[in-house]
Amino acid sequence: MTHPYRAKEVSKLNSPSISRAPGFTALIRAFGIAYVRSFRGTLFSLALPLLIIFIGELSAGSHPSNLDSWMTAAIALNTGLFSQGLFGYAVDLAHDRDLGVYRRLLCSPVSTWEILLSQLIVQWGGIVLQTTVVILAITEFYHASWVGIHVGLGLLVLFVTGNVTLFLGQWLCTMIRTAKTVTAVARLLLLGLLFSEGFFLKMSQWPTFFRHLADMMPVHLSVTMFDAVANASRWGMNDWRDLLGLLAYTVVFAGISLKFFRWTPV
């Protein structure tokens, strides 16, 4: 079900005045207000990484390992980004499509590129806000200090991973037509994400086949790079290779979703 506040706000996009001349800024404003008011997905994508940090701090006890602490921080950052793409974008995108918002917008003088770009801008605003809160929590719990190279590499990984998660969400809506099914599959994907990150079971304890399979998944590539960012001296050629792998996933997800995504409900 779409949150009532979101349903009320996105319904404004169907009003005759906006449908005649929505304007790019009007689209961003309407989608932005709808995003803020549909707080359940936003709250979930923010609460989950904070919960991971808190659990990691409790399990570390009084003698935490820097390696384990930074891996927990990397998992928290990564989980927040992927939950944003799956619940903050894919679910809302599917719900808005079911409401017929895009059908009405496409009858107005606005292009699909303007609709898509306005949505992505709003989602990136959410990513920046969520990541800022998570980084502040990491700094508080793990007493992290950030230097230039950490920030530079971190922003690069954040930008690439953020785009992967958003286009993964759009790809999910491309493959699945109904909002209920998108929501159900997003939950399963998030659970698989936590397993493949090594949150429930360390990767070294996995069977060899599943470990090699997880190594190729975008979620594992990004969490490995976030962990490497914590200590820039560990960043090497393997991390640049992982970055190229994430870019390849972005191209695949974006290519499929931009070509085959349908803006109207079934």
pLDDT tens-digit profile of 58-71? 766 554 555 566 77
pLDDT confidence bin for 56, thresholds 50/70/90: confident
| pLDDT of the residue at 18 | 43
Residue 223 reports pLDDT greater than 50: yes
Residue 7 reports pLDDT greater than 60: no
Task: Compute the half-sphere exposure of residue 240: CA atoms within 13 Å on the CB side of its CA.
Answer: 2
When mean pLDDT is compared across 99-103, 190-194, 243-247, the lowest value belongs to 190-194
| pLDDT of the residue at 75 | 83
pLDDT tens-digit profile of 14-51? 544 444 445 788 888 888 888 877 766 677 778 888 88
Residue type, 247: L
Q: What is the mean pLDDT of residues 232-254?
A: 86
pLDDT tens-digit profile of 160-172? 999 999 999 999 9
- Measure Cα distances from 71 to 51, 81, 83, 247, 255 in Å: 14, 15, 18, 22, 32
d(CA 152, CA 262): 37
| pLDDT of the residue at 22 | 52
pTM of the full structure: 0.83
When mean pLDDT is compared across 4-13, 37-46, 127-136, the lowest value belongs to 4-13
Helix axes 218-230, 237-260, angle to 10 degrees: 140
Q: Which DSSP category does 85 fall into? A: I
When mean pLDDT is compared across 15-24, 90-99, 196-205, the lowest value belongs to 15-24
Q: Which tokens go with 262?
A: 């349908």
pLDDT confidence bin for 187, thresholds 50/70/90: confident
pLDDT confidence bin for 249, thresholds 50/70/90: very high
When mean pLDDT is compared across 104-108, 183-187, 230-234, the lowest value belongs to 230-234
Residue 1 reports pLDDT greater than 80: no
Average pLDDT, the chain: 79
- Within 8 A by CB and 6+ apart from 224, the residues are 74, 239, 242
Q: What is the mean pLDDT of residues 134-154?
A: 74
- Within 8 A by CB and 6+ apart from 98, the residues are 2, 178, 179, 265
d(CA 151, CA 180): 39
| pLDDT of the residue at 196 | 75
Nearest to 82 by CA among 41, 115, 32: 41
Q: Which residue has the tokens 């998570």?
A: 134
